[in-house]
Amino acid sequence: MPVPEHFDFFVDPNRCIGCQACVQACAECDTHKGRPMIHLEYVERSTSTQTVPVICMHCDSPTCAEVCPADAIKKTGDGVVQSARKPRCIACNNCVIACPFGVPKMQSDFELMMKCDMCYDRTSVGKRPMCATVCPSGALFYGTREQVEQLRPRSRPINTFQFGHQTITTKVNMMVPAGPGGTPGSSSAEYVDVTSAMHDESAAGGSGKRVRLNVLEDSLFQFESDAVEEPDDAATTT
């Protein structure tokens, strides 16, 4: 039974609370023997509690599969990109290096690339993926586009990503703020420009492309006059 076509996967880092329930639950899946296929990244723990869950985006044209010399990575007809096939995988790491989202992981003791297969054992029988089921904040969501649009009027799902000159479309959607100040429906962005978000410092505040890090700024405090301390540049970096 294929994964139902009208069910999509949505990732909303804005909701993520860094609890790692997804990581702990993914390790419970039958197919990957106690290892999580999702990982969690702090954007910059020294200045923020912002975390980002990273799962396989299940690209329409998966770079990992395209670069695999052994043709070990298969995409099923319903758009799910699978872990490498054990008999074929030569543990060369090409996929690990090539994936723009940093997803595949070499499991050196198995000499096998393993990655999120969207809980194929669950989704193919009508269950929801483990991580998206347990995620307590709704940062991971599996359901229909109508459901997500109804539940999340201030965000919109985007599944087109720009990496330099490469455009990638995916089965998994990122939830991005709907528009300036969260006004529903007023965003013009049709894709997430990953490269410029990573490098364009001037984008901060302006286009909203760059992740804004909340830090304790002096403007939040009332300092007693004698308690004002030497100014600290680090505290105002955003």
Nearer to another protein, 97 or 235 (CB): 235
Residue 22 interacts with ligand SF4 (CB under 6 A): yes or no: yes
By CB under 8 A, the count of residues binding another protein is 51
Residue 60 CA neighbour count, 13 Å, CB half: 9
Torsion sign, CA atoms 126, 38, 57, 69: negative
65: tokens are 């599969």
Residue 98 interacts with ligand SF4 (CB under 6 A): yes or no: no
Residue 85 interacts with another protein (CB under 8 A): yes or no: no
208: tokens are 């909203």
Residue 88 to residue 78: CA distance in whole angstroms: 22
Least gap, CB of 60 to another protein (angstroms) = 28
Residue 111 interacts with another protein (CB under 8 A): yes or no: no
Q: Which stretch binds another protein (CB under 8 A): 25-33, 109-117, 161-169, 190-198?
A: 25-33
Residues 6+ away with beta carbon under 8 Å from 233: none
Nearer to ligand SF4, 142 or 161 (CB): 142
Residue 79 interacts with ligand SF4 (CB under 6 A): yes or no: no
Residue 43 corresponds to which amino acid? V
Residue that has been written with the tokens 């490098």 in this structure: 199
From another protein, ligand SF4, none, interface partner of 216 (C-beta below 5 to 8 A by class):
another protein
Helix (H) or strand (E) holding 177: strand 166-177
Residues 6+ away with beta carbon under 8 Å from 105: 37, 39, 96, 113, 114, 115
Q: Hey, is 142 helix, strand or coil? A: strand
124 and 135 Cβ atoms separated by less than 8 Å: no
Residue 28 interacts with another protein (CB under 8 A): yes or no: yes
Least gap, CB of 13 to another protein (angstroms) = 10
Residue 8 to residue 131: CA distance in whole angstroms: 14
Exactly one of 39, 154, 163, 196 binds another protein (CB under 8 A); that residue is 154
Residue 55 to residue 83: CA distance in whole angstroms: 12
Residue 174 interacts with ligand SF4 (CB under 6 A): yes or no: no
Nearer to another protein, 28 or 71 (CB): 28
Residue 211 interacts with another protein (CB under 8 A): yes or no: no
Residue 54 interacts with another protein (CB under 8 A): yes or no: no
Least gap, CB of 174 to ligand SF4 (angstroms) = 12
Residues 124-143 close enough to bind ligand SF4 by CB under 6 A: 129-131, 135, 137, 139-140
Residues lying near ligand SF4 in the complex (CB under 6 A): 16-22, 26, 29, 37-38, 40, 51, 53, 55, 116-119, 129-131, 135, 137, 139-140
